[in-house]
Amino acid sequence: MVDVEVSLRVDGTDHRLTVDTRTSVLDALRERLGNTSPKKGCDHGQCGACTVLLDGRRVNSCLALAVAHDGATVVTAAGLAPAGQLHPMQACFIRHDAFQCGYCTPGQIVSAVAMLAEAAAGWPSAVTADGAGRGGGAVVLDDDEIRERMSGNLCRCAAYANIVPAVAEMARR
């Protein structure tokens, strides 16, 4: 075992903790800080259930080592909105019944929030038409764009038919 000290700002609160170098950001959140909002679906980067914002970007927290992200700011689905309130994306998921078991949902919601910001910044996807967003303008998100950009979030319950409209409603706002 090799222990190191790291600090993480999680959902607005600063934490300082000693972790084994092997500890992922996901395990630090769940096992050490008691934040079970991000889920462990695969631990191999294949499902997206562990998605959090790390310094503002969506990432798979299962593949990010805590020691490599010392000092980072983490936002989980639980911290998207002030305590007791819903983030508008969460409200859209509820309105569209965009989940069944709910296991993938925190990852889906964080991913969707970050994905809208990426499209607003003009980032293309594999289905974006040539040049769209290249001048810095936003990319318009149709259902194909949403499916492609959300493909890193799997849903074992296959709630996709409701996830896409939930994200689409938020994208139209």
Partner 1 sequence: MRPFRYERANDVSGAVALLAGTPNGAFLGGGTNLVDLMRLDVARPELLVDVRRLTSDRIEELPDGRVRVGAAVPNSDLAADPLIRARYPAVSEALLSGASGQLRNLATTGGNLLQRTRCVYFQNVSTPCNKRDPGAGCSAIDGHHWDLAILGASEACVATHPSDLAVALVALDAVVLTEGADGERRIPITELHRLPDREPHRDTILQHGELITAVELPPLPWATRSRYRKVRDRASYAFALVSAVVVLDTADGVVRDVRIGLGGVAHRPWRALVAEQALRGGPATEERFRQAAEAELAAARPLPGNAFKVRLARNTLVRTLLDVNEGRR
Ligand X SMILES: Cc1cc2nc3c(=O)[nH]c(=O)nc-3n(C[C@H](O)[C@H](O)[C@H](O)COP(=O)(O)OP(=O)(O)OC[C@H]3O[C@@H](n4cnc5c(N)ncnc54)[C@H](O)[C@@H]3O)c2cc1C
Contacts with ligand X, residue ranges (CB under 6 A): 45-46
Considering only residues 22 through 41, tell me which ones interact with partner 1, judged by CB under 8 A: 22, 24
- How far from the centroid of its chain's Cα atoms is residue 59's Cα? 7
- Sheet strand arrangement including 51-54: 13-20, 3-10, 73-75, 51-54, 57-60
Is 33 or 138 the residue whose CB approaches ligand FES more closely? 33
- Count CB neighbours of 74 within 10 A: 26
Structure token pair of residue 38: 């991000």
Q: HSE of 6 in the Cβ direction (CA atoms, 13 Å)?
A: 26
Task: Between 97 and 142, name the residue whose CB sits nearer to partner 1.
Answer: 142
Binding mask 138-167 for ligand FES (x = CB under 6 A): -----------------xxx-x--------
Residues 6+ apart with CB under 8 A from 65: 21, 22, 23, 24, 25
The option from ligand FES, ligand X, partner 1, none interacting with 151 (CB < 5 to 8 A, set by class) reads: partner 1
Interface pattern 104-143 for ligand FES (x via CB under 6 A) = xx--------------------------------------
Cβ atoms of 49 and 107 closer than 8 Å = yes
Report in angstroms how near the CB of residue 128 gets to partner 1 at its nearest.
8
The pattern of x and - marking residues 95 through 124 that bind partner 1 according to CB under 8 A reads ----------------x--xx--x--xxxx
